[in-house]
Structure 1
Amino acid sequence: MKKSLYLLAAGAAALTLTVPGMAIAGEAAGNDTLNVVVTDDASQFNPGVTNTYSDIMSLYQIYERLVYYIDGEPVPQLAESWEASEDKLTYMFHLRPDTYFQNGEKLTAEDVVYSINRRCEESPSTASKFASVTALDENTVEIKLTRICESIFSSLASPGMGILCKSYCEENGDDAFLKPNGSGAYQLKEWVKGSQIQFEAFENYGGGKAPIEYLNFNIITDSSTALISLENGENDFMLNLSASDFALVEGNEELTVQTAPSHSQAGLVLNVQNGVTADENVRKAIACAIDRDAVNVVGFDGTGTVATGSFEDFLYYDGEDYTYSYDPEKAKEYLAASEYAGSDITVTIKTSDNYGDIVPQVIQQNLAEIGITANIESMDIGSQSEDWLNGNFEIIYQAGSEITPDLSESLYSAYYSANVWSASAWSDGRYDGQLDAIMAETDTQKRTELCCSLLQEIMATANEIPLVVKSGNIVYRTGLQNTYVDPNGMFYCFKDFSWE
């Protein structure tokens, strides 16, 4: 199963408020610098490798893509315009002229072809969409698709589609991603591993030099320490505050809090291949045992929304609730029907430092009420991801996001046998026939019916348990302008931010 099944499409305007009260202990950075709190370090600066939040956030500063998203709609970035054929299988992209990489080389259509083809080699699910990518001239790229693909623009806007300098990558190999060379608004200045990632504005950026000259990602893993650094003026911007931290900034007139609906959904992934969770009745028992209202209140201070499915508000989604209701007695019935009836059942919930253990503690208590002992193991997000990949878990707690607003593409990416990436998921092709039919269907209504029928079938197995759709938020020093809340929680590009 893909990591990014938990999501909610943004559907309302952002709410911004400045909160009055507490004084600041220190001074803010000068108008030429923005200090951003990040919770982990980068691993490298390769669009094809995104192991950490800092990887993704760094990529959005260094590289550009053909398009990006504003309010759920694709807008020009490197491509200043485009058009599609009548059958929606061929797209023509016209590049912004006079765009240069940070080493001074001109960006051309050949670089775009190289970058997309490279990404297709890295990702089978991406490759399945593209029949061919061709440079028609220096500034024109033709993309032919294998099928109608409503999510083509979100694919082109994803972190992995950052456009690389072909000659620079071929000359430098892996070193090209330690000393990256993109066309983005910021270029890497210095990387102090474990401490700070420093950027400076690219003088010849095609969209005009960024108003803020220096951008620093300061790595602080402890949320309390991070919040203190914001309050005393050491840092200027922090994202994805927990409910408890969110409450702490209330009363500080020097800080502004901004919220908006998010694509991020907290949920559980259960191992269907190994351990006690390979038993479907055990999975269903766990699903019925969890009080998601309590998860929202305790884990998110009631700021979220109880989830109704893995793919809410998606194209081709009918809005039905496909989840199991909280019903401890029904949970006990499922346990009695499992192969572990009458046995002591112990499971481990693996969470990461990024997500915390408050929600796992609620689940731990819920499971105890039906006779399941749950241990909680917290680790760094890289280790959690590795265990997920290798199937070394029973239950994973995570709160990821999804940028593909198309249910058919998300189902295909997560469940088609050739795309399955985790040893914990089904790879026997049980859904391939239905997915082939979905991807071949061009009628919107029929496609919706097929998608929702398959989603209902999958959700009935309790291979994952959606919990709460989170509200996105940021907090920053009052006076910072042109801010926004990214619905994915990490796709921030700071090129338009400025100080009053």
Structure 2
Amino acid sequence: MNKKLFVLLFAVVMGVAGYLKFSANDVKAQELKKNKISIAMRADPKTLDPQKSIDTMSNKSITLIYDTLLDLDENLNLKPNLAESWERLDDCNVVFHLKKGVKFHNGEELKAEDVKFTLERAASSPQTLYLFKPITKVTVIDDYTVQVTTDKPFGALLNNLAAVQGGIVSKKAVLEYGDDYVNHPVGTGQYKLKEWLPGNRIVFEGFKDAYQGAPNFEELTYLTIPEVSNRMIALETGEVDVAFDIGIMDKETIENSNNLELVEVESPALLYLGFDQTNPIYQNKKLREAIAYAIDNQTFVDVVFRGSAVTGDSPLPKASPAYNGNVKKYNQDIEKAKKLLAEAGYPNGLDIELWCMDDGPRVDMCVIIQDQLKKIGINVEIKIFEFGAYVSKTALPNKELYFLSWNSSGDGDVALYPLFHSSQHGAPGNRSFYSNKKVDELLDKARVSVNEEERTTLYKEVQNILQEDLAIYPLAYPKINLAKNKNLTGLVFKKNGDIDLTNLDFNQK
């Protein structure tokens, strides 16, 4: 063999070897990436117990661990889940037939007794009373059949059973761990808890025996990244594959990216100012009206959300089927606001506090409110609280003007009952401690109706009263978003803000 040929062959062999080495490393990296996925969220979950959850951050983790009897598709239509079928015996009784062979994370099989235990627990939990209080009896017919009885006809029952708070827990695990169950959650979902470091991350490992099939990832991590700019950086650098709650300023960057994709949907979410009716200052209706007339909601849509929101003009968002667009409006009118403030007993203005959680867009909105109220003589001091502390603090009576949100399934019962029924004061949702017998009556009547047309009429009447009473002032209905790696497939972003990761996977090119 001549020298030139030898050198050529050697180069070819080494090149192939180098290519094979590179390919092997590349494949290994792809496998590692496929086996693990990271998602950025803005705050820690407050709990991993479905019957204790009232916040969206907790819900995002809970949906990984637990399954519900029924589920909602992308457009919020009901579909089977742990219950493969169901039938209504009469207006107050529904029988559910469970899938057989469904395993909990502890290896136990799901039985009707677990469903009974869960629903009775949900019907007595302060955080979930608004969803499940009408349930008076749960009867085990056999291991895979359960009957749910309500005290009266309950139009929202099936939708509520699809809510995160209806996640079916293992009776054995709850009794075994007691008060420490939150650190040892046991469900039937595709992921189970591996590690929870509050303020840093929560790690889940895939559950191979999940009835839906093992997930495509061996490990899924939620990273707590409060700052929206840092979530964006983590997404751009590949530290995370998905980021919830992307900043409006980053939308253009994502839309122009070859590697990232923005997913945005309208939702039945409400941002509002709350007037605590146990605080004597805010029992003054003219003061509440003065504040409302001083605020321009369009500014939030244009400046803070840059079009990714709709102006608020009713306690029920426009994405909800029962939305009433004919309620009393409080379009900005500075002179009228000043006049009302004087009639309220504050001709020279007053000083107030405005509470808010440490969330960028909400703080920005509060700064705008501060500026707008100053124009009528109200000096606002903004006080910002950490998310968990804020949720607890706003559940207490006699508080200052506060900024909050409410996310619902779109059903009028879930959107209005917890926020305004007098039985829901405090933690369940009615943090303004509002009471109105007529509103209670209408909400109760809508609850027992199984006629959707009648329910819609009742909820529209409720909105008329609420806008007149002004226990809260609707600010905006934000669209919800997330950004993700373009190669990530199978993610379903529902209109209620829930995420279905059942079929999540990387597209292998």
Q: Report the TM-score, using the length of structure 2 for normalisation.
A: 0.86
- The equivalent position to 1:180 in structure 2, one of 144, 168, 185, is 185
Residue of structure 1 equivalent to 2:106 = 103
Give the AA of the match of 1:466. P
Using CA pairs below 8 Å that are at least 6 residues apart, which structure has the higher relative contact order?
A: 1
Q: Please state if 1:485 is matched with 2:493.
A: yes
Rate the CA distance shift 1:469–1:452 in 2: closer, same or farther, 3 A.
same
Q: Report the TM-score, using the length of structure 1 for normalisation.
A: 0.88
Find the aligned partners of 2:415 and 2:362 in 1 and give their Cα distance.
27
Unaligned runs of 5+ in 2: 1-28
Q: What's the % identity of the aligned pairs? A: 26
Find the aligned partners of 1:44 and 1:411 in 2 and give their Cα distance.
24
Residue of structure 2 equivalent to 1:78 = 82
- The equivalent position to 2:215 in structure 1, one of 199, 210, 214, is 210
Moved more, 314-323 or 179-188: 314-323
Secondary structure at 2:52 match in 1: coil
Moved more, 70-79 or 442-451: 442-451
Whether contact under 8 Å (1:109, 1:141) holds in the other structure is: yes
- Deviation of residue 392 (structure 1)? 4.9
Whether contact under 8 Å (2:419, 2:431) holds in the other structure is: no
- The equivalent position to 2:315 in structure 1, one of 295, 305, 310, is 310
Find the aligned partners of 1:462 and 1:366 in 2 and give their Cα distance.
19
- The equivalent position to 1:499 in structure 2, one of 485, 506, 509, is 506
Residue of structure 2 equivalent to 1:365 = 371
Give the AA of the match of 2:407. S
Residue of structure 2 equivalent to 1:39 = 42
Residue of structure 1 equivalent to 2:22 = none
Find the aligned partners of 1:390 and 1:282 in 2 and give their Cα distance.
22
Rate the CA distance shift 1:262–1:452 in 2: closer, same or farther, 3 A.
closer
Moved more, 142-151 or 162-171: 142-151
Aligned residues: 470
Moved more, 435-444 or 191-200: 435-444
Question: Which string of whole-angstrom CA distances, capped at 9 and with x for unpartnered residues, describes residues 324-378 of structure 1?
Answer: 12211221221121122x2331122211123541111111111111111112112
State the superposition RMSD in angstroms: 2.3
Find the aligned partners of 2:446 and 2:332 in 1 and give their Cα distance.
32
- Deviation of residue 278 (structure 1)? 2.2
Please give the residue correspondences for 1:457-468 in structure 2 after superposition, counting only pairs within 5 Å: 457-468=465-476
Give the AA of the match of 1:147. K
- The equivalent position to 2:96 in structure 1, one of 88, 93, 96, is 93
Moved more, 279-288 or 165-174: 165-174
Find the aligned partners of 1:75 and 1:440 in 2 and give their Cα distance.
22
Find the aligned partners of 1:54 and 1:412 in 2 and give their Cα distance.
22
Please give the residue correspondences for 1:127-142 in structure 2 after superposition, counting only pairs within 5 Å: 127-142=132-147
- Deviation of residue 256 (structure 1)? 1.1
Rate the CA distance shift 1:417–1:211 in 2: closer, same or farther, 3 A.
same
- Deviation of residue 437 (structure 1)? 4.4
- The equivalent position to 2:291 in structure 1, one of 273, 286, 293, is 286
Whether contact under 8 Å (2:492, 2:500) holds in the other structure is: no
Find the aligned partners of 2:399 and 2:379 in 1 and give their Cα distance.
15
Find the aligned partners of 2:450 and 2:56 in 1 and give their Cα distance.
36
Question: Which string of whole-angstrom CA distances, capped at 9 and with x for unpartnered residues, describes residues 233-274 of structure 1?
Answer: 111101121212333434321111111112222221122221
Please give the residue correspondences for 1:97-496 in structure 2 after superposition, counting only pairs within 5 Å: 97-123=100-126, 124-312=129-317, 313-340=319-346, 342-354=347-359, 355-403=361-409, 405-408=410-413, 410-421=415-426, 424-427=432-435, 429=437, 431-439=439-447, 446-489=454-497, 491-496=498-503
Question: Which string of whole-angstrom CA distances, capped at 9 and with x for unpartnered residues, describes residues 399-430 of structure 1?
Answer: 33112x33255433333322222564134756
Whether contact under 8 Å (1:352, 1:384) holds in the other structure is: yes
Find the aligned partners of 1:209 and 1:446 in 2 and give their Cα distance.
43
Higher helix share: 2
Secondary structure at 2:407 match in 1: coil
Rate the CA distance shift 1:258–1:442 in 2: closer, same or farther, 3 A.
closer
Residue of structure 1 equivalent to 2:20 = none
- Deviation of residue 303 (structure 1)? 2.1
Whether contact under 8 Å (1:42, 1:55) holds in the other structure is: yes
Structure exhibiting the larger radius of gyration computed from Cα positions: 2
